[in-house]
Amino acid sequence: MSEEQNNRDLTREEQLEIEEKAIQALLDMGAKFSVPLKINPVNPPKRIVWWNKHFPNHVKVWRDRRLPKNWDVSLSEVPDANLGKLVKVYMRNFHIKPLYLGTIDALRKLYIQIEYDEQAIQDQPIQESKKLFKYIPVMAEIAAVAVLNNPTIANPLAKEVKELKAFFIEHLTVAKLQRLAAIISQMMNAGGFTSSIRSIREIGVNTKPKQKENGADLIE
């Protein structure tokens, strides 16, 4: 019985180690996600298809002119509940990279705008949760600032922030926002920042000035 218990404990330890490595990998490399566009894909012109088929070493890249040039867009197949089959859709791709301190500070200023009462939600979950929908613009801006990850344009009036915020309001679902919020929370690495604060405070404690008998200060 004891041996079986040790095996289970070891399994849990290994699982925790794997989870820690996965979180660290996320913090190191960032996370990618995609958002479907409300634009029906079109096939490339026949002349482009013919050329690429006959000259595979000299492929011509065709791009739908309805898509902005600075967007990272790919074509994917996703299930359509109404049609009961896979359909092709344009997906705009994003990459949230490790957040800079300036970006985290900008996110902090947005977070404090949200008033959240957990007890009220526990007492009246449906009514209170619906009240939180008023924070949709703030949540969309949080997502935009995190994706841009550029402290110099974290100002809400910046053109890049306004455009991406509007895009997320129009294209993000609640489910997608939930997953994105979890990624942003991990990318902020609050635990790592807390460890940094702890280390600095320990330095301050270890270097506390000590008075000598002649009045001169020494560093311990």
What residue segments make up the domains of the chain, in order of their start?
34-94
- Cα–Cα nearest to 36, from 68, 65, 62, 73: 73
How large is the greatest C-alpha to C-alpha distance in the chain, in angstroms?
A: 92
Q: Average pLDDT per run of 10 along the chain, which is 220 residues long?
A: 51 71 69 91 89 88 88 89 86 91 90 89 89 93 92 70 94 92 85 84 64 54
Angle at 89 between CA 179 and CA 41, to 5 degrees: 150
Alpha carbons within 13 A on the beta-carbon side of 51: 10
- In 3D space, the residue among 185, 195, 83 whose CA is nearest the CA of residue 139 turns out to be 185
* Encoded amino acid at 105, one letter: D
pLDDT, residue 25, reads 66
Structure-token pair, residue 36: 């479907």
Would you state the pLDDT for residue 34?
93
Question: What's the CA gap between 128 and 123, in Å, rounded?
Answer: 9
pLDDT score at 166? 95
pLDDT of residue 72: 93
